[in-house]
């Protein structure tokens, strides 16, 4: 039945009524100037893409960078990024305030870029997000390399604001705007239980993937993420100091907080007894405002970002249904102080109190659920 | 370690738990619910199960009528979904009789959300029960006499949003307060009507982040006052009167605790959550502390005398839905943990605090005086601030500010300036560098020097820190850090005094409040661990009450449970005798 919904059967009728309703719900006076709320038409199970694209569109720093890219790159060959930029541009420059749009070119390009998405099956929204972010980043890096090869003397406009006009020393290690928006740094600290030496290793992330427990908060899930883990048996740690494999304690903490913190709730667990992935519908509450407890304070370091950084929830990709390869994705986003629900081509204004409907279920009796799957938190100091 | 957290074991719901005073046991026969509960129901839309309990005064003939000779003068009221029940509450000694509710109500199109018995007008034959609803209306009934039924805000002209908390004004026979999801708090007189028109308000009083209005009509009508509190439209989640009845603590979805002097309507203090809304609030039995819980999963202790957050409790795995002091456990002066050497003195007082959460767990906390009071370390303050000559004697532990003297603008101006610079820039441009400078400077101001004293417990030597973490010495670690908060507070209040009042919107910016007494940084404030942390239900917990012989909890599936306190006599045999007795009742 969810497939029917995905195919957008009879969406035409629903659309007409709903869209004018949205404008009425918001009110013409309250309707934010220069803002457009456009649903995305489903091309057969493309809601995984639609929901993520809407969430990203309402991550303001990301939208602005994509539109900026569009403005600066008039004539380049078609990439997934140019398709995305065209799509965002098209939404942002609509005459009408509300409506729906068909992301035809983007989907076509996506199907060309990655085999896994070249079908009409339901995909994992997180896998798509992950692919999209990484892919865009690679495009930017590739284009940057190309431009430096061509003309060493240009002033590196692609880096624009971030490098203050000076040409970066090593182009590739320099962060792209994708890095600047989504990339954070984790430090894994490992203490060898033999020699007590602590070694730490940094790794970058575009999102944090957290396990979910029943009746917990995202705060708790993030704390568990940083719980001390003992490496033993087959999983011993190669201690440089001892020059051998030793038992060790390992802990992950966030060293650099990203501008937009994307949290992926691991709701699809592989169950051996069923030989497939099962949806974990546990109730995990997520506040509209968030700080992290598992940060590491690195004084006097260039990498240090205010560990007290306060985040606001700006978008949630919601999975509806019972399993990873079935069901439906929608997204809820915050825009100019109110909340909107994007369900493919449909857009509705919702009350903030309705967000609790997407926390999950407290019992396992029900098989299907509508649950927050990817949370986008935006740093408040970036949103002014 | 102090925490006996129950991870793992899915349906591992505890029916007893141990503290140093003994074992608390779930009285399975004293479970109150709707009469014919059909098994386990997933609690959707019934998240606001609340419990009110009242003791009727003894009547001339001994047992109160309506108690059916069951020998109890206690009445319990709870709501679940569309229903509201009032039962004779028979405590721990007798099993609950669910067949004969004193009163039961079933509502259409609206759900009861909160209620309160009037303890002033109560007689053996009558009691006034005020009930708030999810659609904003208010009803006054007498569940014993049953002839009384009045409605307020019936046409929803006063407020259309959910009543989140309703309470009689302490000592008043006819005044009650109702808080709404709209962020407004109304004062009603039960004897007055609500008028047939939308009330026209006029401003009566205004302060930092709140305003109070009266109705502009010839004849007095309800509401007598309208308090508009906090950011526009941010739900008031709960309020609580101080034990003396003079002060009113209000917590909202905007993340603030605001404490008002009720009669003068002055704001006398506030605190900000670490993040997210504050959901619940309570007062210490002596009125010296206000405790709040919220969406940061924390229990936050605010000192009324010092107007600052003095401690945070970390133990819940989800949002904290109710906090309550146990006024019957204060005499256990000896702290559970060994206090560092000479600090141990007879004067150490200990508060017992309870909290329940959406994580289905009950936590009990000991708030010991040595944690709550700033330790004697005036020295630390000397080299922390350039304004040190302005220091008032407030830094000395135990010295309390007079109630009136503190005004509300306790924002750290240094923080304000720094983050002000940062946030003024267009978004997206070099955020990393901005926040860095902000962070480093504030650190220098508030904790800079003191950091060295704590020898590696903060940042500098993280090897040690990691070691401490792994082996669970966090508690002592935090206590050491505790001395830092005091100086930080002084420097900020002083700057404010010098620079005068700031813009209102600024003083509510959580980015500027972090690191101030209203919202210390996480490592600037002692972090408590729970004495007990037990999963006691399948559903989210929504109520917690302490009584002399028992405590009561309720959860979202509409179950109200009673937990017997440890037996007073020797533990062993009296315990088994007690459970025998319960068995016999059945």
User: Domain tally for chain B?
Assistant: 2
What is the structure's pLDDT at B91?
A: 86
Question: Residue A217 pLDDT > 90, yes or no?
Answer: yes
B427: nearest CA in chain A? A382
What is the structure's pLDDT at A234?
A: 87
Give the 3-state secondary structure of residue B23. Answer: strand
Domain final residue, candidates B229, B250, B276: B229
What is the structure's pLDDT at A28?
A: 80
- The stretches in chain B having pLDDT less than 70 are 1-11, 36-46, 60-71, 330-348, 374-506, 568-586
Helices H, strands E: what count in chain A? 9, 20
In whole angstroms, what is the distance from residue B176 CA to residue B164 CA?
14
A193: nearest CA in chain B? B467
Average pLDDT taken over every residue of chain A: 85
Residue-number span of the structural domain to which B190 is assigned:
46-229
In whole angstroms, what is the distance from residue A171 CA to residue A69 CA?
18
Q: What is the DSSP string of A53-119?
A: HHHHHTSHHHHHHHHHHHHH-SS----HHHHHHHHHHHHHT-SSSEEEE--HHHHHHHHHH-GGGSS
Q: Is B265 a domain residue?
A: no
Tell me: the pLDDT tens digits for B230-285? 988 899 999 999 999 999 999 999 999 999 999 999 999 999 999 999 999 999 99
Q: Is B243 a domain residue?
A: no
Question: Residue A280 pLDDT > 50, yes or no?
Answer: yes
A328 in active site = yes
- Altogether, the residues listed in chain A come to a count of 384
Q: Is B308 a domain residue?
A: no
Which of A4, A36, A47, A282 is flagged as catalytic? A47
Question: Residue A52 pLDDT > 70, yes or no?
Answer: yes
What is the structure's pLDDT at B356?
A: 97
The DSSP call for residue A359 is: S
Contact yes or no for B42 and A365 at CB 8 A: yes
Q: Tokens for B524?
A: 């600037």
What CATH number does residue B222 fall under?
2.130.10.10
What is the structure's pLDDT at A171?
A: 52
Q: Domain ranges in chain A? A: 2-382
User: Which one is predicted more confidently, A272 or B526?
Assistant: B526
> What is the separation of C-alpha B440 from the centre of its chain, rounded to a whole number of angstroms?
34
A357: nearest CA in chain B? B44
User: Which one is predicted more confidently, A71 or A16?
Assistant: A71
Q: Is B495 a domain residue?
A: yes
User: Which one is predicted more confidently, B463 or A86?
Assistant: A86
Q: What are the C-alpha distances in Å from B93 to residues A202, A365, B90, B552, B571? A: 60, 35, 7, 14, 18
Q: Is B384 a domain residue?
A: yes
Q: Is B10 a domain residue?
A: no
A319 in active site = no
User: Which one is predicted more confidently, A143 or A52?
Assistant: A52
In whole angstroms, what is the distance from residue B445 CA to residue B522 CA?
16
Neighbours of B537 (CB within 10 A): 23
Residue A271 banded pLDDT, cuts 50, 70, 90 = confident
- pTM (predicted TM-score): 0.80
What is the structure's pLDDT at A156?
A: 44
A237: distance to nearest CA of chain B, Å?
17
Which of B427, B459, B521 is nearest residue A308 as measured by Cβ atoms? B521
Domain final residue, candidates B200, B229, B258: B229
Q: Which CATH topology does A2-382 take?
A: Cathepsin B; Chain A (3.90.70)
Contact yes or no for B470 and A249 at CB 8 A: yes
Which of B423, B459, B515 is nearest residue A299 as measured by Cβ atoms? B459
| In A116-226, alpha helices (H) | 125-150, 177-182, 218-225
Q: Is B511 a domain residue?
A: yes
Token look-up 């059909």 returns B38
What is the structure's pLDDT at B189?
A: 96
ipTM for this model: 0.88
Is the alpha carbon torsion for A230, A231, A237, A242 positive or negative?
positive
Give the 3-state secondary structure of residue B138. Answer: strand
Domain final residue, candidates B204, B229, B254: B229
| B-chain residues near A219 (CB < 8 A) | 296-297
Which range (A88-97, A331-340, B387-396) has the least confidence? B387-396
Q: Is B370 a domain residue?
A: no
In whole angstroms, what is the distance from residue A203 CA to residue A136 CA?
20
């Amino acid at each position: 039945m969810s497939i029917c919904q995905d195919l957008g059967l009879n969406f035409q009728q629903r659309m007409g009524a709903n869209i004018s309703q949205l404008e009425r719900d918001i009110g013409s006076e309250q309707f934010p100037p220069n803002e457009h709320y456009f649903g995305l038409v489903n091309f057969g199970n493309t809601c995984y893409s639609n929901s993520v694209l809407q969430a990203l569109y309402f991550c303001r720093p990301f939208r602005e960078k994509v539109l900026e890219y569009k403005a600066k790159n008039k004539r380049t060959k078609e990439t997934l990024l140019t398709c995305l930029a065209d799509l965002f541009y098209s939404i942002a420059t609509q005459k009408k305030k509300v409506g729906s749009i068909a992301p035809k070119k983007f989907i076509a390009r996506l199907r060309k870029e990655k085999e896994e998405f070249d079908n009409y099956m339901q995909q994992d929204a997180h896998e798509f997000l992950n692919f999209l972010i990484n892919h865009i980043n690679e495009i930017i890096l590739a284009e940057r390399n190309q431009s430096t090869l061509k003309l060493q003397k240009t002033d590196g406009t692609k880096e624009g604001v971030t490098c203050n006009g000076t040409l970066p020393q090593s182009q590739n290690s320099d962060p792209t705007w994708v890095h600047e928006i989504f990339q954070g740094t984790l430090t894994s600290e490992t203490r060898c239980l033999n020699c007590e030496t602590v070694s730490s290793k940094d790794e970058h992330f575009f999102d944090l993937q957290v396990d979910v427990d029943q009746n917990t908060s995202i705060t708790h899930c993030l704390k568990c993420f940083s719980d001390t883990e003992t490496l033993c048996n087959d999983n011993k740690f190669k201690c440089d100091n001892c020059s051998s494999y030793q038992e060790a304690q390992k802990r992950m903490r966030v060293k650099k907080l990203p501008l937009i913190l994307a949290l992926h709730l691991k709701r699809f667990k592989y169950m051996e007894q069923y030989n497939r992935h099962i949806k974990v519908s546990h109730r995990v509450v997520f506040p509209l405002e968030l700080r992290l407890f598992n940060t590491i304070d690195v004084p006097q370091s260039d990498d240090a970002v205010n560990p007290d950084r306060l985040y606001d929830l700006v978008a949630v990709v919601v999975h509806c249904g019972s399993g990873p390869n079935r069901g439906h994705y929608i997204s809820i986003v915050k825009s100019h102080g109110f909340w909107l629900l994007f369900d493919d081509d449909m857009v509705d204004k919702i009350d903030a109190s309705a967000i609790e409907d997407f926390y999950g279920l407290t019992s396992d009796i029900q098989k299907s659920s509508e649950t927050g799957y990817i949370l986008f938190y935006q740093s408040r100091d970036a949103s002014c | 370690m102090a925490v006996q957290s129950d991870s793992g074991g899915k349906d591992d719901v505890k029916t007893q738990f141990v503290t140093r005073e003994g074992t608390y046991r779930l009285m399975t026969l004293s479970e109150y619910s709707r009469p014919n509960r059909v098994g386990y129901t997933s609690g959707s839309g019934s998240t606001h199960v609340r419990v009110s309990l009242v003791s009727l005064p003894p009547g001339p003939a001994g047992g109160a009528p309506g108690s059916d000779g069951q020998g109890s003068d206690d009445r319990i009221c709870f709501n679940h979904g569309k229903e509201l029940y009032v039962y004779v509450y028979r405590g721990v000694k007798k099993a609950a009789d669910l067949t004969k509710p004193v009163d039961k109500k079933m509502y259409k199109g609206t759900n009861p959300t909160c209620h309160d018995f009037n303890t002033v007008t109560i007689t053996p034959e009558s009691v006034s029960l005020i009930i708030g609803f999810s659609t904003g209306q208010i009803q006054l009934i007498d569940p014993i006499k049953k002839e009384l039924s009045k409605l307020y805000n019936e046409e929803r002209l006063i407020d259309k949003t959910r009543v989140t908390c309703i309470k009689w004004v302490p000592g008043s026979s006819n005044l009650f307060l109702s808080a709404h999801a709209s962020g407004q708090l109304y004062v009603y007189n039960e004897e007055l009507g609500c008028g047939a028109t939308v009330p026209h308000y006029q401003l009566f009083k205004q302060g930092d982040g709140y305003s109070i209005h009266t109705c502009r009509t010839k004849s007095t009508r309800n509401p007598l006052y309208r308090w508009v509190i906090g950011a526009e439209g941010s739900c008031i989640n709960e309020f609580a009167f101080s034990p003396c009845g003079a002060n009113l603590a209000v917590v909202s979805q905007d993340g603030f605790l605001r404490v008002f002097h009720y009669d003068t309507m002055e704001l006398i203090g506030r605190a900000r959550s670490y993040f997210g809304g504050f959901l619940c609030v309570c007062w210490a039995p002596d009125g010296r502390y206000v405790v709040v819980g919220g969406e940061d999963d924390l229990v936050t202790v605010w000192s009324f005398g010092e107007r600052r957050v003095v401690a945070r409790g970390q133990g819940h795995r989800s949002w904290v839905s109710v906090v309550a002091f146990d006024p019957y456990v204060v005499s256990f002066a000896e702290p559970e943990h060994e206090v560092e050497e000479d600090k141990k003195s007879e004067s150490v007082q200990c508060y017992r605090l309870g909290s329940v959460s959406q994580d289905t767990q009950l936590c009990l906390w000991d708030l010991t005086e040595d944690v709550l009071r700033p330790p004697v370390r005036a020295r630390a303050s000397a080299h922390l601030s350039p304004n040190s000559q302005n220091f008032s004697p407030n830094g000395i532990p135990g010295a309390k500010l007079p109630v009136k003297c503190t005004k509300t603008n306790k924002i750290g101006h240094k923080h304000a300036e720094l983050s002000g610079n940062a946030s003024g820039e267009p978004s997206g441009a070099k955020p990393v560098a901005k926040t860095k400078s902000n962070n480093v400077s504030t650190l220098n101001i508030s904790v800079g020097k003191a950091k060295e004293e704590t020898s590696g417990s903060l940042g500098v030597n993280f090897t040690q820190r990691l070691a401490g973490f792994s082996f669970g010495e966090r508690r002592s670690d935090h206590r050491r850090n505790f001395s830092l908060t005091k100086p930080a507070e002084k420097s900020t209040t002083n700057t404010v005094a010098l620079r005068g009042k700031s813009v209102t919107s600024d003083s509510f910016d959580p980015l500027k409040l972090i690191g101030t007494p209203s919202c210390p940084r996480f490592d600037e404030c002692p972090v408590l661990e729970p004495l007990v942390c037990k999963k006691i239900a399948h559903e989210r917990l929504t109520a917690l009450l302490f009584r002399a012989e028992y405590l009561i909890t309720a959860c979202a599936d509409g179950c109200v449970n009673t937990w017997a306190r440890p037996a007073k006599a020797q533990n062993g045999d009296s315990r088994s005798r007690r459970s025998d007795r319960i068995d016999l009742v059945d």
